[in-house]
Structure 1
Amino acid sequence: MINNLFDDRKNIEKIYKNKDVVSKEDKIIIAGPCAIESYEQLLKTAEFVKEKGANVLRGGAYKPRTSPDSFQGLKEEGLRILKAVKEKTGLPVITELMDVRDLKKIYDVADIIQIGSRNMQNFTLLSEVGKQDKPIMLKRGIASTITEWIGAAEYIAKEGNYNIIMCERGIRTYNDYTRNTLDLAAVPIIKKETGLSVVVDPSHGTGVRYLIKPMSLAALACGADGIMVEVHPEPENALSDGMQSLHFDEFDDLINSIANYK
């Protein structure tokens, strides 16, 4: 048993039940491109995923990349595009916060603020988002233990914000076939130990397009409150993570499979 700040909060309402993000009866289906590349690209994707059943749009304006020479995102222009597409489609949006200096800009656009894997232990950033009144998605660190992940969530909760979505996105192991190793056992563990909602990201968890569907279904089977997947109109031309982004027809197939699974 892990002793943590959430021990007395086990009956906390799920994020999609106590916020007007998605309806009570739905799973959280977050979909969209890894990176916002243009208004046309994001709008086309948003309209499609909404039609097929997604209830939250993802899109990165600021992109933390391993190489400084890789596409870093459109930044403020990306946020303007995200806001415009949000207003056009009515979809709630999630985007990543990397730097506390960008908090106000992202707060003004995002319905859910994402803390990425690389910043899971950026304690200053965690404390600042803990002071906000919006849901926070906390992605598991690239090689973090369960205890470390819960500890990071405690930094947010300690400031008063218990509206936290834990996101399992795979951890680095000796496996060299997939991008990461998706730890689905973490889903029931986190739910038991914290009572928080858990979303699984099979796109980053595997980095392999054909694995996203089976791992999404597996995530829901083991109790995940939702999934977050990358979808792009032309994955082969994507500026970020094209190999793990679903084509439109593949996303359609995924949603149909989830419906049949229910």
Structure 2
Amino acid sequence: MFIVMKPSCSRSDIDSVLAVLEKHQLAGTLSNESDATIIQVLETPQAPISKEDINELKKQVTQKIKVLAGVERIPTITRPYKLASRDFHPKDTIVRVPAACTAQGYVEIGGQNVVMMAGPCTVESEKQLLTTAEAVLEKGAVILRGGAFKPSTSPYGYRGMGLEGLKLLAKARDTFGLAVITEVMTPTDVSLVSEYADILQIGTRNMQNYMLLDEVGRSNMPVVLKRGMSAKIEEWLLAAEYILAQGNKNVILCERGIRTFESATRNTMDLSAIPVVKNLSHLPIISDPSQGTGHRHLVEAMSLASVTAGSDGLLVEVHPNPEEALKDGAQSLTIGQYQQLMARLNGVALAVGRSVTKPAFFSALSA
């Protein structure tokens, strides 16, 4: 349940609403959007109560609150994900991430521009990371991807450099001005990873790790939430709701393919999810065609198709020598293939009325 206050409402008006809620043993939290003050109501009172009684209580509270001064409307949202729903937040959310390589000093995800995030699946060495960072920046990436902590299906797979990997990512950011996105795997690691990263990534295996979602929600860091490999779109948006419910509005969804009966690709890249999510939610959405297909020769086609479908950005794996990669080399682009992708990406973005965010010195480097 949400109460939208008028732009001209006073603090006294807000307190009157909160008093009615308190009288009925309900809690209300304030959310100041760009154009309105919204009170989010905890729909379950402090004492246990049946579903029928909850519905009756909501009717009584609605009747009392809607006539109070300063109240504009009490929208009815039938979807189980309230904060992530476009019914609650009609305007698109734009997530701002600091990026020294841009003219503004930040990059916006969810706006007019398409944002490129590129880099190795896993941080392996300083030389590997810095070589890749320089190459992806030169051709238009503004965010560097790289895993310091990596989940592996097998316990014998490469699991990342940990803290040393985070330090190398921070060095790459300081050297080239790229923002950094890297995965966080446990609630206890959130504060540590936040010291080195600009965006926290929740991987497919952790989409429903609710304690982790709560913790990144409390961090207020930008978060990329990947779709679970077997998750329905509603389950994905409910996972985003966990983060939003903790007060973190900086959530970016990422389509990375789902598990189906098809074996020709590592996953089935569900491009239809992009326009579906755009219709259901105000949150920005990007796509990961590297994880989505598992084969580098498919990454370019699915990247261009993603942008055509409405993706706000791409998360692409690039490696100086994929054949020697410690993890996921088969789906990593070579630097030459990445350069070819970027040359075509600009044209596709223009064809659908968008443009690609570029570093401030992109033209000089590309000349």
2:33 maps to which residue? none
Alignment of 1:32 onto 2:119: yes
What CA deviation, in whole Å up to 9, does each residue of 1:231-262 have, x standing for no partner? Answer: 00000000010000000000000000011222
Distance 1:38 1:62 in 2: 14
2:260 maps to which residue? 173
Amino acid at match of 2:245: K
TM-score (normalizing by structure 2): 0.69
What CA deviation, in whole Å up to 9, does each residue of 1:178-237 have, x standing for no partner? Answer: 000000111011111111100000000000111100100000001010111000000000
Task: Give, in angstroms, the shift of residue 34 of structure 1.
Answer: 0.2
Distance 1:51 1:152 in 2: 35
TM-score (normalizing by structure 1): 0.96
Aligned length: 262
| Structure-to-structure mapping, 1:246-261, within 5 angstroms | 246-261=333-348
Residue from 271, 275, 293 that aligns with 1:188: 275
What CA deviation, in whole Å up to 9, does each residue of 1:40-80 have, x standing for no partner? Answer: 11000001100100010000000000011111100011011
2:81 maps to which residue? 4
Amino acid at match of 1:137: V
Indicate conservation of the 8 Å contact 2:97/2:198, yes or no.
Answer: no
* CA 84–18 in structure 1, closer or farther in 2 if over 3 Å, else same: closer
Task: Give, in angstroms, the shift of residue 3 of structure 1.
Answer: 4.4
Distance 1:175 1:220 in 2: 24
Amino acid at match of 2:91: N
Distance 2:172 2:292 in 1: 27
* RMSD of aligned residue pairs (Cα, Å): 1.6
1:143 maps to which residue? 230
For structure 1, list consecutive stretches of 5 or more residues without a partner in the other structure: none
Indicate conservation of the 8 Å contact 1:119/1:141, yes or no.
Answer: yes
* CA 85–129 in structure 1, closer or farther in 2 if over 3 Å, else same: same
Indicate conservation of the 8 Å contact 2:220/2:249, yes or no.
Answer: no
Sequence identity (%): 47
* CA 118–109 in structure 1, closer or farther in 2 if over 3 Å, else same: same
Alignment of 1:89 onto 2:169: no
What CA deviation, in whole Å up to 9, does each residue of 1:72-105 have, x standing for no partner? Answer: 1000110111111111111000000001111111
2:150 maps to which residue? 63
Task: Give, in angstroms, the shift of residue 25 of structure 1.
Answer: 5.1
Alignment of 1:13 onto 2:93: yes
* CA 61–54 in structure 1, closer or farther in 2 if over 3 Å, else same: same
Point out which structure has higher relative CO (alpha carbons under 8 A, 6+ apart). Answer: 1
Aligned partner of residue 267 in structure 2, secondary structure: coil
